Amino acid sequence: MDKARQRLEYLWRRGRDFLGTEFAIMGGAMSWISERNLVSAISNGGGFGVLACGSMTPDLLAGEILATQQRTVKPFGVNLITLHPQLEDLIDVCGEAGVGHIVLGGGLPSGAAIKRAKATGAKVVCFAPALVLAKKLLRSGVDALVIEGAEAGGHIGPVATSVLAQEILPMIEAVPVFVAGGIGRGEAVLSYLEMGAAGCQLGTRFVCASECVAHANYKKAFIHAAARDAVPSVQVDPQFPVIPVRALGNNATKRFTLFQLDVVARFKSGEIDQKEAQLRIEHFWAGALKRAVIDGDVENGSLMAGQSVGMVAREQPTAEILNELVDQALAALAAREGLVSTRVQC
């Protein structure tokens, strides 16, 4: 296994060096889930935890960063939503707290936002949903990229992870590129490393970590779900666009479709105008993620999950999940090189 380990170390050395970690495995920033406990557990386990700022105010973010720093001395990052009305203040909070990596997500960040984040001394990571945007971000000075495919949970783009990897990895050499979306096993991590990725990002796989604060009902839904259960939200009328969100189907997803039909009917009858109709549709899910994650209402809340949810079989300590992923990658390497006679089942 030593030869396999040496090979793995070689493949993800760039990612490890960039993150400052033992494993080039990032934790996806999931609202209400990627908070101080899970983030510190991922970092303490050898990976790279990422705090999800979401809609936090600067004061709340400062408190969450401090609480995380009190739980780990290992590197971790902070994910900021580019559309947040206080983005500049949030960047400054990260700088004052000495955050080493700032991840800008939820839209294409402006050059000014990237420059401000870099001015704090942090390394800046951004999401690239297409090659043309990856090149644009490079010109803006980003230090690393994440390419995330449609298999991921939460808000998704239209292109599969496997296609994005083929499109972008061979073309981007200037900065490390991390791959995300639908990754649940170490063999998949290995395959993307061999394609040129610096590392991978996983979110869904960590929801059922012992240290994750998600409600027991939320975790149970993940454990019992199959890959096909994680589906994107439905848009019923092109006049009223809906950014697709991948989640486990439940009563709320069924009601969302019916709700859209009702709103569209009210618009067509002249009862409400287009702006009011669009706002009603957009506000349907307000607070729904918290209802599921924190309150445990898995029927009326939003069960955001990637298609890798089918590989979540039980609740495990975070360090065990990370080591399992590494062991799977090592076993695949060893088997390929004839170092072991049978494939190790993890």
Query: pLDDT tens track of the chain, all 346 residues?
Result: 699 999 999 999 999 999 999 999 999 999 999 999 999 999 999 999 999 999 999 999 999 999 999 999 999 999 999 999 999 999 999 999 999 999 999 989 999 999 999 999 999 999 999 999 999 999 999 999 999 999 999 999 999 999 999 999 999 999 999 999 999 999 999 999 999 999 999 999 999 999 999 999 999 999 999 999 999 999 999 999 998 999 999 999 999 999 999 999 999 999 999 999 999 999 999 899 999 999 999 999 999 999 999 999 999 999 999 999 999 999 999 998 775 544 445 4
Q: Which domains does the chain have, with CATH numbers?
A: 2-202+316-336 (3.20.20.70), 216-307 (no CATH)
**Which pairing describes strands 177-180 and 144-148: parallel, antiparallel, or unpaired?**
parallel
**Radius of gyration of the chain, Cα coordinates, nearest whole angstrom:** 20
> What is the pTM assigned to this prediction?
0.94
Strand, coil or helix: 44 = helix
**336 contact partners, CB below 8 Å, separation of at least 6:** none
What kind and span of H or E run contains 330? Answer: helix 318-336
- Which candidate, 235, 252, 339, 344, places its Cα nearest to that of 290? 252
Distance CA 124, CA 146 (A): 11
- Residue 180 and residue 253: Cα distance in Å, rounded? 24
* Residue showing tokens 């092109």: 238
Give the pairing type, strands 245-248 and 303-304.
antiparallel
Using CB atoms within 10 Å of the CB of residue 313, give its burial: 0 to 12 exposed, 13 to 18 middle, 19+ buried.
exposed
